[in-house]
Amino acid sequence: MSIMPGAMLGLLGGGQLGRMFTMAAQSMGYRVTVVDPSDRSPSTGIADRHLRTDYLDSDTLRELASTCAGVTTEFENVPAESLRILAERCVVSPAANSVAVAQNRILEKNFLAANGFGVAPYAVIQNSQNSNNSHNLNGALSHKQPELFPGLFPGILKISRFGYDGKGQTRVNNSIELDRAFTGMKREPCVLEKQLPLESEVSVIVSRGFDGEVTTFPVSENQHRNGILDVSIIPARASPAIIQNAREIAIRIAEKLDYRGVLCVEFFVLANGRLLVNEIAPRPHNSGHYSIDACVTSQFEQQVRVLCGLPLGSTAMHGAAVMVNLLGDLWQKGEPKWEQVLRHPYVKLHLYGKLDARPGRKMGHYTVLAETVEAALQLALEIKQSLEQQLLEHRAPVN
Ligand code: ADP
Ligand code: MG
């Protein structure tokens, strides 16, 4: 039975993805209760209700289950246990089991590899004993043991949990650097991954309903800077075979996980056109923000639709789009000059209402719409340059 407009929906996490989910849900007539321990997160100001507690708080979970028809999450590191408890009493999407795999790099890589999805060569690095396919670093490694990880150097050591935007990752060239980096990560479980020469990176947002209906959004080509998504170009400038392959792999991953919800699959594209799965995120994704302005249905409306058991919306795109992230660095000299963005009739500005503009923090984005990718990219980069120009200009001296 579908959950119809007017109902209250629950959301774990109050970040920008939650804000955009809340806006999509409210515009369709739903109400939203957000759980977030902070009182200043992007979605708490606009939600119909805010429960300001930890995600595992038992009163909160009871309250959510009794007042909400369905609960979802915007936040990769939501305790899977919360979703498991809620699922005993109300509709939950995505399920605890899927989230548990996606939020743990070791489980994620092992799941992908075990099911035949190509991933970068990797090894699990952990302190504890005997686990398959894992290497135990109990004492310090010496440079005499490079054979421990044949072919994985130069590599990237990635912490298994709670990493994002390139945080919790260190480049390592040999076993000594590996040991140092592992100690730097407090010897928490990690994955060592071979650093690959990437032709490009692409991602696919796939949505799968409770009835098994599946849609994919157009494939996005993603450019990162300092490990953080910088620019997304849609449709991706890749061959039709790569595009089709990316969509098919994303659907197969959603099916293998028995996933119900919106899932992002990030890929590496190698020079020979081969696709490797980088990681999966159990929620809408930064690389899908373009869908708000460029598609019939946004990734956030699709999240509402899955949760509420509605038929999925069309993911057809109106034209080409380029999305550019606005990081806190841009605020170094005060509020950016938004007229540089707003003066263009086919450019859409989104700001997340965050109060502190720290470097590397995602503050907003803009999406340029055009008939062709080339035209969208050109204008997107011109605007980007004009915003960054402001940082180079000297302030007029104050007497
Ligand atoms: P996060 O969770 O921070 O998004 P990712 O594993 O996706 O972490 O890494 C962030 C970015 O770093 C990737 O999008 C890619 O640009 C680069 N990167 C990560 N792993 C590799 C790798 N094995 N080879 C080359 N580049 C990589
Ligand atoms: Mg990533």
Give me ligand 1 centre to Cα 266, in Å.
9
Give the pairing of strands 220-225 and 200-208: antiparallel
Given a contact cutoff of 8 angstroms between Cβ atoms, the answer to whether 331 and 363 are in contact is yes
- Find the ligand nearest to 222 CA: 1
pLDDT tens profile 240-264:
999 999 999 999 999 999 999 999 9
pLDDT tens profile 33-75:
999 999 999 999 999 999 999 999 999 999 999 999 999 999 8
Q: Is the pTM of this model over 0.85?
A: yes
The residue extents of the domains of the chain are 8-92, 121-194, 200-395
Fold of 200-395: D-amino Acid Aminotransferase; Chain A, domain 1 (3.30.470)
Give me ligand 1 centre to Cα 233, in Å.
18
Closest CA to 103 of 162, 182, 44, 167: 162
Residue with the two structure tokens 């909400």: 68
- Measured at the CA of 243, the angle between CA 363 and CA 299, to 5 degrees, comes to 40
Q: What kind and span of H or E run contains 221?
A: strand 220-225
Amino acid at 237: R
Domains 8-92 and 121-194 are alike in CATH topology? no
Q: Kindly state if the Cβ of 227 falls inside 6 Å of ligand 1.
A: yes
- Can you tell me which atom of ligand 1 is nearest the CA of 196? 24
Give me ligand 2 centre to Cα 143, in Å.
30
Residues 6+ apart with CB under 8 A from 394: none
Q: What are phi and psi of 231, to 5 degrees?
A: -135, 135
Given a contact cutoff of 8 angstroms between Cβ atoms, the answer to whether 390 and 331 are in contact is no
Distance of CA 13 to the CA centre of its chain: 14
Fold of 8-92: Rossmann fold (3.40.50)
Given a contact cutoff of 8 angstroms between Cβ atoms, the answer to whether 161 and 104 are in contact is yes
Q: What are phi and psi of 137, to 5 degrees?
A: -105, 90
Q: Kindly state if the Cβ of 235 falls inside 6 Å of ligand 1.
A: no
Give me ligand 1 centre to Cα 308, in Å.
33
Fold of 121-194: Dna Ligase; domain 1 (3.30.1490)
What are the pLDDT tens digits along the chain (399 aa)?
Answer: 899 999 999 999 999 999 999 999 999 999 999 999 999 999 999 999 999 999 999 999 999 999 999 999 998 899 999 999 999 999 999 999 999 999 999 999 999 999 999 999 999 999 854 444 567 676 555 544 545 787 999 999 999 998 888 889 999 999 999 999 999 999 999 999 999 999 999 999 999 999 999 999 999 999 999 999 999 999 999 999 999 999 999 999 999 999 999 999 999 999 999 999 999 999 999 999 999 999 999 999 999 999 999 999 999 999 999 999 999 999 999 999 999 999 999 999 999 999 999 999 999 999 999 999 999 999 999 999 999 998 998 665 655
- Find the ligand nearest to 105 CA: 1
